[in-house]
Structure 1
Amino acid sequence: MVIVFALGATVPTRFASDFVLRLGNEGLLLGMLALSVAFLMHQAGLVALGAASMYGGTGLLFAIALSEWNLTPIAAIGVSFLIVVVYATILGALIVRTNPLAFMMLTLAAGEMISHGVLLEGLRGYTGGADGLVVNFKGSIFGMEATDFASPSQFWLLTWTAAWLAGLALWVVGRSRLGSILRAVRENEERMRFSGFGTYLPRLIAYVLVNIVAAVAGLLHVLNAGFVSPESLGLTVSTNTLVAALIGGIGGSVGPIVGGLIFSFAQDEFGARGLTQLLTGIAIVLFIVVFPSGVVGGVWGALRARALGEPSERS
């Protein structure tokens, strides 16, 4: 793991162009967002369709805190994260009691309300409306200035590290007592209640945790782009996130991040041919048919079956 981390942090910055690094940065950020969705799906059996509201909402709050509240960059980060965590806690407290289908629709409804709310004319002075907000800050954030965040090579090291830390954190949580309880609740909630386990608080903690990961990705996105728009809060980002998670695989921390990278490069390739939606739809169907457990899950299963001398799942 240490060798892979070191190679991934250094090799792309030496041999890849700025354009490739930009696509890679976008893929890692999408992968982090997909990681948050995949963790909730795999551990708790819950699908969150409003992930973009946390992703874009954190960036928007950061921009508002800088431009309207005149906060320092570090203070703006702290305030935006605090608001997002409080919002996620309140929303989660209301919806984690529901069944998986209702949970999915409620997260979708909440996300759509926020994405359309920022477009209201009465809030245009704060949110910028359909035009969005430009993010300008003076000084440095964790030793990096605005030009450093805009540099593809310097930003790659930051996103690569953030993706690894997020994946490692959720990997540890998945193997902790909390992860065991979440999976047991996913399989049979009623049995867990009869066994004396609380089913409400673990799911609430998991929901807040994954939204913190989504908020980190959203903050990194706005720092890199220097701009936040209503599109970053919309349903398109949420659906792309779900697709990336399914492509890479939801069974671990590596799959969603790999799925984000695949999706980012594929979208660029499809866009160059002018058939983005058509080719994306075909690719999604092929990926799900060929790799029902995701690319990483399929490849890992095949390698493990070959090492053990057993037939793979596909065969």
Structure 2
Amino acid sequence: MTGPLSIDRRPRRVLVTGGGGFIGRHALPDLVARGWEVHAAGRSPLPSEMAAGVVFHLCDLLAEGDAARVVETVRPTHLLHLAWNAVPGRFWTAPDNLDWVAASLRLYRAFAACGGKRAVLAGTCAEYDWSHAELSEATTPLAPHTLYGQAKNAFRTLAEGTAGALGVEVAWGRIFFLYGPHEAPSRFVPDVITSLLKGEPALCSHGRQERDFMHVADVARAFVALLESNHTGPVNIASGTALPLSTVVDVIARLIGRPDLVRLGARPAPAGDPPRLAAAVGVLRDQVGFHPRFDLESGLRDAVEWWRPRC
């Protein structure tokens, strides 16, 4: 019988949701390389290039009972929960954000009931009050203005609020702005890249908005580092450098050699678009011990080269 002084001798066994997604597909091989027993749950089997060393479990988290079944089968010591609705342009207001809160809570409770020890959950910078130029875990108020941000924040509140009673360590990674291979083509960075690679004008807003961009492989590595750390509570997953969107576009155009096709100001900026969203990364750097491998230049070069044969 397990008691308060018993030692958990199970191997490090992690269950990853959203393993086939934009971040998850980069996290899985990193976890395997670092010696984890890796299990992934999702609606569709993993592509062959992602399946090596990973045990896949067919699972629809939105279906009642599926999460509990998989958790009972795997009995993971750790949980990396990345799955959520991330359809570009839709996830901000999609009503199924409510379903994802409920599904995530079922998963979290099943994990705790099976003796899970540490859960790392994916949040968003959209939880913050975006009227503040720098977004800090310690000082910036939380005031999400979208259903997506509200849903994520609600899940965080409930998970953190019950962590002690359930005996689970909870860490919450707030994702900022990311880019890289396998990104949805309609998003900002691939839209600019694919337009220029096709020899078409890249139609952009004025580009003065400042954002913190991080390569998706570094985002995935940051989540793995958070999983392996003892940090609990929120941590910004970001590079720590906020640059104007026009700078990002300029770097892409220079890498491709088509600055003549950039059209800044050809599109209106979204209504209410914040002028600056900068992430404080002291917690990620000093407490988690994570440092990104890519700077903006090398990261965008990697993205360009991935898209080049696909255009």
> Please, what TM-score do these two structures have when normalized by structure 1?
0.25
More helix by share: 1
Q: Which has the higher contact order (CA 8 A, sep 6+)?
A: 1
> Please, what TM-score do these two structures have when normalized by structure 2?
0.25
